[in-house]
Chain A
Amino acid sequence: MTATAGSGPIPVDPPRATNTGHLHGRPFPAAARVALGDSQLRRNIGKATHTIRDKRAIVVDELADWRELRAAGAAIKDATMARLDTYLEQLEEQVTAAGGVVHWAADADEANRIVIDLCRRAEATDVVKVKSMATQEIRLNEALADAGISAWETDLAELIVQLGHDMPSHILVPAIHRNRAEIREIFNREMGKVGRPAPSGLSDEPAALAEAARVHLRQRFLSTDVAISGANFAVAETGTVMVVESEGNGRMCLTLPRTLITVMGIEKLIPTWRDLEVFLQLLPRSSTGERMNPYTTMWTGVTEGDGPQEFHLVLLDNGRTAALADPEGRAALRCIRCSACLNVCPVYERTGGHAYGSIYPGPIGAVLSPLLTGVEDNTSLPFASSLCGACYDVCPVAIDIPSMLVHLRTKVAALPEKARTPERQLMRALAWVMSSPSRWTRSIRSMGLGRFLARNGRFSSMPPPISGWTATRDLPAPPEQSFRDWWAARAPEDGAS
C-alpha cells in the first residue's frame, strides 16, 4: 500500500492499482467505528465544519450569478478534459519556452523518483513544502525521508499534522481534527526536536500559535534551497502555474528558494488565462468562505534574478487518465479541491477524514479515491455515503457525486470477488420477488405473519444483517393487511394481481 521510494527499475507498464500512494486504507465501516468513538474528534470536526459551512453559504449567496459561474466552471473543465492531451502539450511547450522543465509521471513511484533525483542534483538534504494534495497523494514526504531528505511543511495546519506525526484529515484544513489546546501541546512538545522551539509560556490563543509557527518556520525559509509545491491551476496558453493560499508561507516557498519543484495532477490545467476569472470566484468562496484568498502566487517558468532560478513541473497521472476514460467517473476530474463537499457532508462531519483511509476524504474522496486506484482497491468508499446530495448542492463545479457513487457501487458489486456474497444472493432473491406482482403480493402477505413475533408492535433485535439496524433502532411490525390487500378488498373490480 505504501509507495516505495527511491531507486529500482521503472516498470514498463506500471500496474495502476499498486503504486498510487495514499489513496486507500482499511474498510470504511471499521475505521469509521473507531473515529465515531473519539468524542474530541467529533466535537472538533463538527464545530469546524459548521463554521466554514455557514461562512461559505453567506458569501455564495452574495453572488447573483453563482449558478452561471458554477455552470461555467463545470463547462470549462469538461471542455479541457475533452482535449487534455492537446492542452498538456501546449502547457509543456509554454513552460519549457519560459525556462522551466516539464517531467511526466505515470504514478506515485515515478513522481517520487523524479522529485528525489531533482533534490539530489540540487544537493538538498532539506526541502520546504507548500501545502499540496498531490504530494500527499503520492506520499512524497515519506519517499523523501527514505531517500535521506527532510521535507518541512510550512502551511500552519500541515505543520501541525507533521509535528504531531499525524495524517491530514481534510483537504483544506488538514488539522481540522485538532483543537487549539491540542495544537499548543504539539508545538510545545515537538518544535524543539526539529528546529526552533516554541516560546516558553505559549498560550493556546490562535494568534500566539500562529506566531510560534511563524518564528519556527522563518529560519527554515531562509536556510533551505529547494521548495516543493502543488498547484491549483496551470494555464496552458501561457505556461503559468498558480497557487492560492491564505497564510503567505506559500509565497515564501515559491519565491525564496533557488529551486522550485511543482507536482501537479494533470487535471489542474485550464486552457486560458481568462478562465481564471471563473475559478478565482468559485474557489475562495467555496473553500474558506472568503471573497478572495489573501495570497495568489503565479509564475511562468523562471525569471533571471527574480525568484527561483530553476523550475521543474512534474505532471502527475496516477490514475487520472483511467478516471478520464470512465464516462461516469470523469466529472470527478473537474474537482478544484475546495472541500465544500466535506464541510457539508453528514458522514464526514461525524467520522472526520482519517476514516476514509485516503488523502482525499469526504464525498469527493469517496469517488475520487476509487477512480484513481480502481474500485477493486477501494471497495468500501463508494458506500460511505447516505446519498443525501448535500455535496452536489454545494460543489462549485457541479459534480454529481451521489450519482457517481451509485455507478461506482455498481462496479464494486460486479467485481469477481463479489459474485457469491450473501448480500448478492439476498438482493437477487428480493429482486426475483419484487419484479413479479404475484410473487410480491404473496410474499408481503406472508410477511404480515411476522407481526406475531413482534413485541409491542416492534422488533428491537433481529438476526444479521438486520441486526445492524436493530442495534440502535426499532423496526415496526408488519401490518395485518398490506395496502394492496386492503385495496383489492375495497375495490375488487380493479382486477386481481
Chain B
Amino acid sequence: MRVALFATCLVDAMAPPVAKATVTVLGRLGCTVEFPLSQTCCGQMHTNTGYADMAAPMVKNHLETFEPYEYVVTPSGSCAASIRHQHPWITRDYLDPELVDRVEALGNRTYELSEFIVNVLGVTDVGAVYPHRVTYHPACHGTRTLGLGELPLKLLHEVRGLELVELPEAAGCCGFGGTFAIKNADVSSAMLADKVHHILTTGAEACTAVDASCLLHIGGGLSRNRTGVDTIHLAEILASTETDPTVTAANGGQP
C-alpha cells in the first residue's frame, strides 16, 4: 500500500525521530511510504490564532502536494483534525469554493497514525517491544475532534514489555493550545503544572501521546522541573523493537 507521510512542520523541524519512527512502523506493516518534499505545514497555528487568510496558501500547497495519494498518514491528531475540519472552510472562505470537494476528499483520506493502523490496516499488534513504564496522555484534538478514543491504547496494549499506567485526570488539556501557551502563558502554565503533577504520580518513565506538539509542551515542563521523566511519541514506541529499541533521554540515551 502506497502511503504519503505528512510529517507536520513541527516534527519536520523539531522532532525528526517521530517521522522516522512513523516510516519504520508503516514500512514494517507493509506500506510503501513516500514523503513528498513539497509539504510544509497544515496552517493550523495561523488558523487558530485568527489568521486563516494567511493559512490559505498553506492549505492550497497541502492540497497540491497530497492530492495524488490514496492515503495520507500523519503522526499528529491535531494536524489531521485541522486538515479534516478546518481546511474545507478555509478553502471556501479564502481560496476557491470550487476546490472544497477536493479538499474534503483529501481530508477524508488523511489519517492520524493510530487511526490508520487500527482502522485502515486492521492491525493492533505492530510487533513492537518497549519494556518501560509508560503513561498515556490523550491529546485533546485527537481524542475529541478526531474521535480517536481508545485506538492508541489498543496499540499500546499490544506492545511487549510495556507497562501502561493510567494517568489521573487524563482527559485534562495539557495547556498547549498553540499560541495559547504564549498569549495566556499563566493559565497555560497552571494547566501544565497539574499535568506534570499527574504524570509524576504514575511513576512512569515516560509520557506518550499522538501529538508531538503536546509532547513538546509537556516535555518542556518535565524538563524544566528536572523530573527525569521523558516524553515519547506513540510512533516511537511502535517503532521500537528488541533489535532496534527506541532510546530516549530517560532510558539512557540522548534526547
Q: Name A residues whose Cβ lies closer than 8 Å to a Cβ of B.
A: 28-29, 32-33, 36, 346-347, 350-351, 382-390, 392-393, 402-403, 406, 409-414, 423-424, 427-428, 430-431, 434-437, 440-441, 444, 447, 457-458, 460, 465-466, 468-469, 471-476, 478-479, 481-484, 486-488, 491, 494-497
Contacts and interface: CB of A to CB of B under 8 A. Distances in A.
Interface string B25-46: 0000000001111111101011
Contact of B219 (A384, A430, A435, A476): A476
Contact of A383 (B13, B52, B54, B183): B183
Contacts of A465: 182
Contacts of B106: none
Given A435-B61, A476-B216, A469 B52 contact: no
A32 B183 CA distance: 12
Contacts of B223: 458, 473-474, 476
B35 A471 contact: no
B19 A483 contact: yes
Interface stretch (B112-120, B173-181, B199-207): B173-181
Contact of B187 (A347, A393, A444, A469): A347
Interface in B47-73: 47-55, 57-58, 60-61
B188 interface: yes
Interface string B103-126: 000000000000000000000000
B3 to A, nearest CB: 14
Contacts of B145: 389, 402
B160 interface: no
A388 B38 contact: no
A427 B51 contact: yes
Contacts of A347: 184, 187, 191
Interface residues of B, number: 71
A406 B144 contact: no
B165 interface: no
Contact of A473 (B46, B180, B217): B217
A363 B38 CA distance: 38
A36 B34 CA distance: 47
A440 B58 CA distance: 11
A469 B53 CA distance: 26
A468 B49 contact: no
B16 A486 contact: yes
A384 B188 CA distance: 10
Contacts of A457: 254-255
The 7 A-B residue pairs whose C-beta atoms are closest, nearest first, are A386-B177, A473-B220, A413-B50, A409-B50, A388-B173, A435-B57, A468-B185
B221 interface: yes
Contact of B172 (A346, A431, A460): A346
B182 A466 contact: yes
Nearest to B52: A410
10 contacts: A33-B186, A383-B183, A386-B176, A430-B45, A434-B40, A435-B57, A437-B39, A475-B216, A476-B216, A487-B35
Q: At the interface, is chain B mostly helix, strand, loop or mixed?
A: helix
A339 to B, nearest CB: 18
B178 to A, nearest CB: 8
B37 A430 contact: no
Given A427-B54, A486-B20, 6 more contacts: A382-B50, A469-B185, A471-B189, A473-B224, A481-B16, A491-B35
Given A32-B187, A474-B220, A409 B58 contact: no
B247 interface: no
Contacts of A393: 144
A444 B13 contact: yes
Contacts of A436: 40, 61
A479 B16 contact: yes
B190 interface: yes
Nearest to A458: B223
Nearest to B38: A437
A363 to B, nearest CB: 12
B84 interface: no
Nearest to A481: B16
Which residue among A387, A413, A423, A479 has the maximum number of chain B CB atoms within 10 Å of its CB?
Answer: A387
Decide if the interface of chain A is mainly helix, strand, loop or mixed: helix
Interface stretch (B4-12, B148-156, B237-245): B4-12
B47 A406 contact: yes
A436 B192 CA distance: 34
Contacts of B20: 483, 486
B99 interface: no
B220 to A, nearest CB: 3
B37 A437 contact: yes
B48 A409 contact: yes
Contacts of A423: 49
B40 A472 contact: no
Given A431-B54, A481-B16, A483-B16, A471 B37 contact: no
Nearest to A497: B37
A389 B46 contact: no
A431 B37 contact: no
B87 interface: no
Contacts of A471: 185, 189
B140 interface: yes
Nearest to B7: A483
Contact of B186 (A32, A387, A491, A497): A32
A440 B220 contact: no
B187 A36 contact: yes
Contacts of A383: 179-180, 183-184
A57 to B, nearest CB: 11
B196 to A, nearest CB: 10
Interface in B207-255: 216-217, 219-221, 223-224, 254-255
Nearest to A348: B187
A410 B50 contact: yes
B171 interface: yes
Given A383-B183, A410-B50, A472-B192, A431 B58 contact: yes
Nearest to A37: B186
Contacts of B189: 471-473
A472 B50 contact: no
A351 B189 CA distance: 12
B11 A385 contact: no
B148 to A, nearest CB: 12
Contacts of A488: 37
In this complex, the member of B53, B176, B190 whose beta carbon has the largest number of chain A beta carbons within 10 angstroms is: B190
Nearest to B14: A478
A29 B184 contact: yes
Contacts of B177: 385-388
B61 A494 contact: no
Contacts of B172: 346
Contacts of A403: 85
Nearest to B181: A469
A332 B94 CA distance: 24
A250 B49 CA distance: 43
